[in-house]
Amino acid sequence: MPDEQMANSGGQPATPAGPPPTPSAPPSPAARPLDTIDRSILRMLQTDGRASIRSVAERVHVSRANAYARINRLIDDGVIRGFSALIDQERAGQGASAYITLKIVQNSWRTVRKQLTALPGATHIALVSGDFDVLLLVHTKDNRELRELVLTRIQSIPEVLSTRTLLVFEETDLGPEEE
């Protein structure tokens, strides 16, 4: 920031045998507890990620040095994962949006996630519980491109057992709750 500025729940039976899970990176230490000032800073940055350190400090009634230190701590602790712009997908030439649900082969999440992450237009991927395993949000130029993405790219992934596409007719981004 500038100085001034599961398990599978899709109904498939569990597989008792197989290789042990590969070790993953050690878990990161728990984030320190957030106080009311931290939460105010988070709400402000969710509303305006480009807010200057000075405006953050003034709004939450702390010094610039304190605001800067708190924001850096929130970044270091992984509470703030990054800063980004909210995009109007339609104005950006992505006129078709859809949530795609996927049922996948049990224990294939990491493989499937890697392939879905590489898809053009994929903006959110979640492993979920319920009637399907994965929820994917995509934005494409039009329905023809969406059809191609689902039928050619996603359904050709060997670990994908089935898909269901839910067209988005209208979207509203929800901002942080007001104080």
104 residue type, one letter? I
Total-model pTM: 0.69
Closest of 118, 108, 97 to residue 161, by C-alpha: 108
Q: pLDDT digits over 106-135, tens only?
A: 999 999 999 999 999 999 999 999 999 999
Task: Report residue 124 CA to chain centroid gap.
Answer: 5
Task: Provide the residue ranges of all domains of the chain, joining segments of one domain with +.
Answer: 36-77, 90-168
**Alpha-carbon Rg for the chain in angstroms:** 20
Buried b (16+ CB within 10 A) or exposed e, 80-112: beeeeeeeebeeeebebbbebbbbbbbbbbeeb
Please state which CATH class domain 36-77 belongs to.
mainly alpha
CATH 3.30.70.920 is right for the domain spanning 90-168: yes
Q: What is the pLDDT of residue 26?
A: 55
